Structure 1
Amino acid sequence: MRTPSRWASARHPLIYEINTWPWLADLRATAGTSVDLSSVPEQYWDTIADAGFDAVWLMGVWERSPGGAAIALQDPDLVETFQAVLPDWSPDDVVGSAYCIRDYVVDAHLGGRDGLAVARSELAARGLALLLDFVPNHVAPDHPWTATHPEYFVMDGAVPAKGKDPYFPAWADVVQLNAFSATLRDAMAQTLCDIAGQCDGVRCDMAMLTINEVFARTWGDRVGAAPDQEYWPTIIGAVRATHPGFGFIAEAYWDTEHALQEQGFDFCYDKKLYDRLMDGDAAGVRAHLSSDPAYQERLVRFAENHDEPRLAAIADPARQRAVAVATLTQTGARLVHHGQLEGRKIHVPVFLGRGPREEIDDDLASFYRSLLMMLHDSSFRSGQWTLCDAVPPLLAWCWEGERRWSVVVNLSDGPAAGRVSAPWGEWGIELGAWGWQFSNVRPDRPSDALPWAP
């Protein structure tokens, strides 16, 4: 009997993203023996569960393309990156992009479908959901469909066109699926139904590229008129007909987040909040957090992920902590990237199956342990979030559930002071550069306020 996951009941879930190939390589190096998804030592699953996460996103489990790896090795810029990240790298370390998918089968190197099933069972036993990738826009040039179903693709003469978005040159290692093709939509729905039998949800890569308007703008007359029905309601509806609780997360940009929520996604990336936090734009952050709370509840907040620089590489320790607090105490889903909690600084490209060994930042790790322990309070999972009145660079919000929590952050490199107004009170506050403060109080004991900063 599968234990009900915290993911299913959390309005504001906490997600842990793992770059699966390098993570397992790390575990093998530590253990000195073979490790795949079927044999991950229990202590690693325990650590993730004990930290309070609701779901684990195993990024990059699908079979990668040898052809795509060969293309990567011919790219001088990528090779230079591999050398910088992993000085002792060899061509064997270049396993191909996690998003250049040869087939939606779990790679044998990672333990195959059976190995993934064991990992899912271990997570479920601890109340955690399993999330995987889905790429709607393209596949690898050696995907079986390129030989058996050319009608699924946008064609460039007699061959499939290279995958692209409307703003940048085409990607060299992938070929473009035709989102307007009814037969392609049927095939993708069938593929996703098979995926849905192996996990609890998917993170959909560049989900906005298959919106009718975006796809038509990208490909013009080459794909004809847009169908009456959008891509995602068709796909999501087909999957949820047989897997009603299956989750969908959209990687989304260009102000398409609301449209994708309307088309059926549970959560969409919030890149705008990330950019404003990285810029130290306190007024912009406040304006962004002033939008409709129902919309914000369906956003994914993050301080780093596999596409963004490591937070520890671009921010000093005080700023890292302020950004982490501002991100992980928001409404909506919250995403933590593997290595973020230990202060890793090296961004590992998705082409590499191995990453460098890095020393743990013990002070930062202690901070994150304290922060995550505080987030164990159910108020941050199922409570009500409200933006509080404060003048930038001070930002404040509060949560009300079993306890009342207020969070105040100084999003600047100098001291700041001002008044903060929450629904249950008002107070003055002074914070140093990149400072923060939590207060919590039980609703039945309003005089029992407890300021706290990890």
Structure 2
Amino acid sequence: MPDPRYPSLYQINTRVWLTGLSRALGRRATLDDIPDAELGRLAEKGFDWVWLLSVWQTGPAAQAISRANPGWRREFEETLPDLEDEDIAGSGFAIQGYAVHRDLGGAAALARLRQRLQQHGLKLMLDFVPNHMAPDHPWIDEHPDYFVAGSEDDLARSPQNWCRLQTKSGPRVLAYGRDPYFDGWPDTLQLDYGRPELQQAMIAELERIAGQCDGVRCDMAMLVLPDVFERTWGIRADLFWPKATEAVRRTHPEFRFMAEVYWDLEWTLLLQGFDYAYDKRLYDRLREGHARPVREHFCAGPDYQEKMARFLENHDEPRAAATFAAEMHEAAALITFLSPGLRFFHQGQFEGRRKRISPHLVRTPAEAVDARLQRFYDRLLAVLRRPAVRDGQWQLLECVPAWDGNGSWDCFVAFAFEGQAGERLLVAVNYAPHRSQCYLRLPFADLGDGPWRLKDLIGDAAYEREGSELQARGLYLDEPPWRAQVFSLTRREG
């Protein structure tokens, strides 16, 4: 089944989910134990994709590093004051092999879960980590040249970025996987994209993954771009992503690629075969709390806008409920998820969870549900299920001063959706900590004479306005701080 124009994705921490199920069942749960009712509930909420985080095999080497690292352990204890070693499984991104973890039930259990997802109209997304592998990956012995090698001088000069590892061919100094702006991740080893044989091996891994799911989220996808890789390691590399995405789509033409990407390299990766790219820039602008940069962000063309993955939190970012005050959270959510592109939600977001769960952990602390926030998200998800919002025409709206000298018009961000069946929605947000006024220019040429009804689908307000006034001047808004509204616009008959 093809995706809608603007699909929705729900990210689940697989190991945390199964830990909760294990406690309820009194035994170790696998993917087969995920209740069918839960999958149906996700479909009913309007999701098209489920991203299962951390399903691949991890090993004892990375786990031991995670448990022993004092900085990480302090972070884990802040999340879980009653932390035990069993809670630390090792990072799901320190992959020992692209096989479904044996504790999750293996490949057969994933295949059965994928079939159940398909029965509910849901597609499955999994992880692909191009930059590095775990230190006990079989390639360490079988293909040690696949990894970036260094010297004893490198190790002495930068021990935070290099390690000495014993392999079947003898001891080697190898690089930790890293981002050029930070120290290395000591539970990983850096792959060498300057080697064509490594690139082919990673393409083969992707092709095997593509037989088990419908799409992949590619971790730190920009790190293997040739210029980034050379800047980090001084090693020249050929382009990887165009070859990889083309190879997968020869066998799986509908397969989807989503890039975790930063540093304004979104368009670069979209041109190299990705379907979606993280919109971290929008997230950062929303956190800053100023409307104009947010509004200007939406001036890019539709070919860019519709390929953005919009989020308010994920496993890397702090929880939205801990980042945004309540009213600001709702305003930011309406802007994020009622813009074009992929709507990307995170497990625990709807309930207002405040504790970020590290991908090293397999347990979450008990937290109270924020009932107000949950009601808000229930209403927002109902809006997102509307045909006009899933498949309609989106556009940014112009806001103009309500009167001369009133600059608060600049605090509004507004959109419109129009569906094929004539459904019309207006999204209006006063993204400011003070009351603001404006006239909102409407893009509809047929408002004419007669009354129109505006019903807020997020709140309870309802208004009637004359079509001729809406046509001539626009919709007048006078809104308190952070007010976010979604109006259905319908002609009142009689």
Would you call these one fold, judging by a TM-score over 0.5? Answer: yes
- The counterpart of 1:284, out of the listed 293, 305, 309, is 293
Aligned: 1:396 with 2:396: no
Aligned amino acid, residue 106 of structure 2 = G
Q: Secondary structure at the match of 1:371?
A: helix
Out of 405, 429, 451, the residue aligned to residue 425 of structure 2 is 405
User: CA separation in 1, counterparts of 2:357 and 2:237?
Assistant: 38
Q: Distance in 2 between matches of 1:181 and 1:440?
A: 56
Unaligned runs of at least 5 residues, structure 2: 152-171, 400-408, 445-470
SS in 2 for 1:9: coil
Residue 226 of structure 1: how far off its partner (Å): 3.3
Whether the 8 Å contact between 2:3 and 2:48 is mirrored in structure 1 is no
1:172 pairs, out of 171, 175, 186, with 186
Question: What is the CA–CA distance in structure 2 between the aligned matches of 1:130 and 1:259, rounded to whole Å?
Answer: 25
Equivalent residue number for residue 267 of structure 1: 276
Could you tell me which residue of structure 2 aligns to residue 383 of structure 1? 392
Relative to structure 1, the CA distance from residue 292 to residue 83 in structure 2 (aligned partners, 3 Å threshold; closer, same or farther) is same
Measure the CA separation in 2 of the matches of 1:24 and 1:358: 17
- Which residue is 1:39 aligned to? 33
The answer (yes or no) to whether the contact 1:150–1:160 under 8 Å persists in 2 is no
Q: Which has the higher contact order (CA 8 A, sep 6+)?
A: 1
Q: Which structure 1 segments of 5+ residues have no match? A: 450-454
Q: Equivalent residue for 1:342?
A: 351
Match of 1:201 in 2: 215
| Mapped partners of 1:439, 1:32: distance in 2 | 48
Distance 1:203 1:226 in 2: 22
Who is 1:185 aligned against? Answer: 199
**Deviations 1:237-294, CA, capped at 9 Å, x for gaps:** 1111111111000000001100100000000000000000111121110111111221
Query: 2:76 pairs with 73, 82, 88, which one?
Result: 82
CA distance in 1, matches of 2:237, 2:29: 47
Matches within 5 A, 1:89-108: 89-108=83-102
Distance 2:32 2:478 in 1: 51
- Number of aligned residues: 434
Corresponding residue for residue 150 of structure 1: 144
Q: 1:65: how far off?
A: 2.7
Q: Which residue of 1 aligns with 2:231?
A: 217
Query: 1:318-355 deviations in whole A, cap 9, x for unaligned?
Result: 11111111111110001000000111111111100111
* Contact kept in structure 2, 1:396 and 1:406, CA below 8 Å: yes
Which deviates more, 267-276 or 81-90?
Answer: 81-90
1:392 offset after TM fit, Å?
A: 2.5
Give the 3-state SS of the residue equivalent to 1:259 in structure 2.
helix
What is the Cα deviation at residue 33 of structure 1? 4.5
What's the TM-score once normalised by structure 2's chain length?
A: 0.86
Shift of 1:35: 2.5
Which stretch shifts more, 198-207 or 374-383? 374-383
1:416 to 427, 436, 448: 436
- In 1, Cα distance between equivalents of 2:204 and 2:491: 57
Match of 1:432 in 2: 480
Conserved 8 A contact 1:102-1:144: yes
Cα distance in structure 1, aligned partners of 2:222 and 2:124: 23
Q: Deviations over 1:335-380 (max 9, x none)?
A: 0000001111111111001111212112211111111011111111
Match of residue 452 from structure 1: none
Q: Does structure 1 retain, via aligned residues, the 8 Å contact 2:131–2:220?
A: yes
SS in 1 for 2:137: coil
SS at match of 1:344: coil
Letter in 2 for 1:430: D
Q: Distance in 1 between matches of 2:30 and 2:410?
A: 48
Contact 2:67 2:90 in 1 (8 A): no
Which residue identity does 1:120 align to in structure 2? R
Letter in 1 for 2:480: G
Contact 1:397/1:422 (CA < 8 Å) preserved in 2?
no
Q: Structure 1-normalised TM-score?
A: 0.93
Q: CA deviation at 1:31?
A: 4.2
Residue 308 of structure 1 pairs with residue 326 of structure 2: no
Question: How far apart are residue 130 of structure 1 and its match?
Answer: 0.2
Secondary structure of the corresponding residue to residue 96 of structure 2: strand
Structure 2 residue 82 is the aligned partner of structure 1 residue 68: no
- Decide whether the 8 Å contact of 1:185 with 1:234 is kept in 2: no
Identity of aligned residues (%): 43
Deviation for aligned residue 1:24: 1.4
Pair member with larger Rg: 2
**For the Cα contact (< 8 Å) 2:195–2:237, is it kept in 1?**
no
Contact 1:410 1:416 in 2 (8 A): yes
Question: Separation in 2 of the partners of 1:246 and 1:210?
Answer: 21
Q: Is the 8 A contact 1:193 1:239 kept in 2?
A: yes
Alignment of 1:160 onto 2:196: no
Task: For 1:32 and 1:341, locate their aligned partners in 2 and report how far apart those are by CA, in whole Å.
Answer: 27
The Cα shift of 1:32 comes to 4.2
Q: Which residue of 1 aligns with 2:335?
A: 326
Out of 119, 125, 128, the residue aligned to residue 134 of structure 1 is 128
